[in-house]
Structure 1
Amino acid sequence: MMPPPNALDDGQYARLLAVRVGVRRFLRWSEERAAEVGLTATQHQLLLAIRGHDDSRGPTIGELADYLCTRHHSTVQLIDRVEQLGLVARNRGEGKDRRVVRLKLTSAGKGKLALLSATHLEELRRLAPLINALVESAAVLETP
């Protein structure tokens, strides 16, 4: 029986496994750090999406839904919960933009995100060899 075209070899499967395990461990570690400051992983991701957005007015709910890979109504529910925690604020546009709602972090939201971001950057530095392996694996997988 012929192997399928572009079949992977044992080493490529081992590298894919190592990368996936590393990514899952990082995500689990990240969930634990968020829980330590009273957030879920998704709430942490929301704060990061707001802060990392490139428009100084803040992201719209639709943009946040795209960042979080969720539906609009799920994003609204998440925002409601995080707003109740005092971490985000909604801002309505002015004039014809009145229907557009944009989000900003409050001081408390900025503080929690700064704390989490510092520990995440430390962990990513520690994981640099894994990240490099991911890049190398992707390059190896693309070669015919």
Structure 2
Amino acid sequence: MLQSFDALNEQAQRGDLVASYVLGMNLRHCYYVPDDNAALADKLLQASEFKDNGEALADIQQSYDYCEGVTRSERNRFYHYLERAAENGSVPAQEAIAELTPELYMAANNFAEISRDEYVEKRQRFVRQQVDFLTSAAQHGSLKAPDENNLQ
């Protein structure tokens, strides 16, 4: 990921919606991956206690290797890239944002330390944005988006 990050970021900054979407989705994947060797060791230990096979451990290690070198602040910006693509009409980005939980959005944007009223307002704004993106995706033939008459 680190090898592609600069090129994708540069393309996204120039307005390339596909690059913005691809970067956003890759950073979203990396969001869940341990940041350092200590966190990796903890996650591998947890997985070994709850899984019977080595496949889960291999998947964790592979994800760690893929995301290694991508900082936590860069990983937290996945939403920024997805939002840019979604606002400019990328249906896959609109679908991806619609699938995010409000809790993930709030955590990734470091909104835990704001006042309760501001937190509620930002969360509600995000949910409204999700509905708007789903409506747009449905109008453009998205199979993931419900019929616009069923959106609440």
Higher helix share: 2
Select the structure of larger CA radius of gyration: 1
Tell me the TM-score normalized by structure 1. 0.30
Q: Which has the higher contact order (CA 8 A, sep 6+)?
A: 1
Higher strand share: 1
